[in-house]
Chains A and B, each alone.
Chain A
Amino acid sequence: MKFGIIQFPGSLCDYDCFYALRDISKVEVAFIWHEETDLSNYDCILLPGGFSYGDYLRVGAIARFSPVMQTVKEYAQKGGFVMGICNGFQILLEADLLPGVLVKNYGLHFLCRYEYVRVENNKTPFTNLCKPEQVLKIPIAHGEGNYFIDDKGLKELIENQQIVLRYCTKSGEVNDEINPNGSVDNIACICNKQRNVIGMMPHPERCVEDILGSSDGRFIFNSIINSIKNKKEAVMQGDK
């Protein structure tokens, strides 16, 4: 099993994701330079947080033209697991791998703090070890994490159960007051219809050890690892 973390110029959370996967989850992981185009050796592609290309134009707008992104699209279309965190989520939206947009936070400021999110769908490859409606304590750190989608799009997201995490209170209540950035319907994380591509604003890689204030991020990483194992087993059984 091997994870690949894409390094765009300006990626910042690449090393944090690397550490969380290699040192905490104990899986194999490698960096993928944005100019590479071969992803065939990886079981999951991770797009980390940061300010790719400085994000001076519009978040993620330039990164989607990176040579590696064309391959990421093909990889996703073939059913490969792709996960975008923060800036990675923004890039996945720009690359049309997920629906909607991320705009400036409601308060117009960058926000870095712990938030609670509720698991809305635990039947995705990225949340399958979470209980239904489980509350996770995960930090956010973004200036443009205000998720927006039109009513029609939102209806589709709900109908297809594509909303994976919502901002909530410590006890799991979803309301406007707790919404940190103004996201439509408190959305913190969505997946595509096929469930193999996910984008989230919170940073699971920042909370994988109790000493950092929470280890809830492990639920996300362990879920993916679990999914990859299951997928590999299914393939092996298919071979028989």
Chain B
Amino acid sequence: MSNPGLLFLQDVLQEPTLIDWEWLRENFWEDIVPALQGHIFLSFISVAIALVIALPIGVISARYRKVYPPVTFVTGILYSIPSLALFAILISIPGVVIGPAPVIIALVAYSLLILIRNTVAGIDSVPPETIDAARGMGLTNRQILFRVELLLALPIIVAGIRIATVTIIGIATIGAYINGGGLGVLIFDGINRQFPTMIIAGAVLATAMAIVADLLLLGLERYLRPWARAKRT
């Protein structure tokens, strides 16, 4: 037991306040549940808004190829701006106050690149013969888009939603710093109060939420791709 690192680790593990179960029990309904609800709300609404924006842009980019590079360039730059910086830039715009709104705007901005890219990839993955066949059956362009192309692109679009959702659940924690609410509230309070229990509660719940969302959407993706399921088994 001469290893100082091990001794230190032992110290930390024996620290009685690392996980204060009593605190967790007492503050479950007051602190933890609202934080979790806030986090689900932030993530869900952001992905939903991002989809409404990204799907049409993706369809247009797949049709008119010239649009695609500038679209990925702009959304790519948005994507690479660190979240705390983007939050900060947003709240310094006059009229934007701290709270959930700038957090949602930023989360939407982050999702766009992934969602648009996957929409285009999904539409590209539709074999030209399938579209020819649809046209031969007398479908109009609009019908081909909605009944053939988007439907066949759906698994890849859902794969994009999955990546975007996991990313957003993580970034949303930082939104608490500008009063966006969510599980980040627990983490920041924990840091400020030097109270590891709150940090761990926030971190574990955010991670669990990301993993659950990941698995649910993976299930949806597999369900929408019956041909791949058949091949695999």
- Same complex: no
Residues of A within 8 A of B (CB): none
Residues of B within 8 A of A (CB): none
